[in-house]
Chain A
Amino acid sequence: MTAMNVHAVRSIYRFEMSRWFRTVGQSVLSPVISTSLYFIVFGAAIGSLMEDIDGVAYGSFLVPGLVMLMLLTQSVSNASFGIYFPKFTGTIYEILSAPISYLEIVLGYVGGAATKSVLLGFIIMATATLFVPVEIQHPFWMLTFLILTALTFSLLGFIIGIWADGFEKLSLVPTLIITPLTFLGGSFYSIQMLPEPWQTLTLFNPVVYLISGFRWSFYGISDVGVGISFGMTLFFLGLCLAVVARIFATGYRLKS
């Protein structure tokens, strides 16, 4: 009986999805509203004063960055909450005593969180088309970046959820790290617009590569080479997988 416990993965996945659909109003509405606000403020009000960037109107330029912004924050918050909550209520006992491997636990929780983020990404893109023209030159790569990023940051959220031992810590990493990195990672501007030394420093921000590659799949313009973006995306995915594997190898914060 070493085969995968498919029923278990499906159960956890469904459970996570049904938690989302139960509160689908809040889950979808708040990102949609904040994206719309960004478009109204940055796209329409300020954007009209901005020059085109590499031949792309500022409003359109914003779309991939905003989708990434939402994707990262929602992946982290969804996945961290998904695993933190059973720890908090104690229902984790059932997961720990079930005949399931750690890989299956991760597939269920992270798969669920990543699915929600990807769906949300589509919803935000659809919202964006109401405000600005959007073009997707490389749909395959757009999907690839979308899914890989959603997976990576859902894994990161999962790690945070396991590490957190209080609700404060749960929101600490997103507010302290994810949001600044995203804002400073070129969501709203091309990093070529930055003066030195900021332009070089920015290259240490992992989010730059995600946004740049994602934007390339839309308009064919990028801050860094798309190959590098793709490589970095895979690198971060691998890094998160390694951390998760390490956590489970030691039972860290799950078992005493």
Chain B
Amino acid sequence: MFVITFLATIGRTFLNFLRVSGRLAMFAGRAMDAVIRPPFYPRLILKQMASIGYYSLPVVGLTALFTGMVLALQIFLGSARFNAESAVASIVVIGITREIGPVIASLMVAGRVGAAIAAEIGTMRVTEQIDALTTLATNPFRYLVAPRLIAAVLTLPILVLIADIVGVFGAYTVGVVKLGFSPVAYIQNSLDFLQVMDVVSGLAKAAVFGFIIALMGCYHGYYSRGGAQGVGKATTNAVVSASILLLSADYVLTELFFAQ
């Protein structure tokens, strides 16, 4: 008896997983269709870029600053064990541009923007605003989903570039003020080993992460059910699923970019 219940649970979970993946894939397909086919809404795209990008600057800037500072300190202490302190600047800058910048900035944006998108679209769903949109002959995928996707894909790389710069600046400050590097040598070391690909791969990742964040926010909001509680659940799910997907995509992308 127990075994059957157990197997049934596994089966149900698996079927549920298939259903959710199928629904998500269809949602993503309809969203992409809305992205590439007119009508487009430039006003809405700009508005979303402001709310995703501009208003995320403080959060992203502060986290990048402290992460850069901590990174410099940790790598200095670690590399002291094998007398490689002089490599701190180069390691930090590669670490930030390739990994820390894109991931930290995107995780912060997932928390801020992914949640906001899910809450807004979820509220529109449960208050019948999405139904109203449809009856006014406006496709919610074009009007709501596409502008958010486009804005996130365009904005995240910019945010990450800023996070890179702020992070490196934080590391530089710690390096010079606390660890006794000379300013010129620190900058020299940072630039010497930095390759264009380090930065570009980070920005490309950021665009993908932006897509994931907006998609998860829209998807969970669009399918939210049952009042304030449903919207709350959608918000949480959007942030959690975006964070997990984003980190797994990070691994895949890193393989793609750098595995020989």
Are A and B co-members of a single complex?
A: no
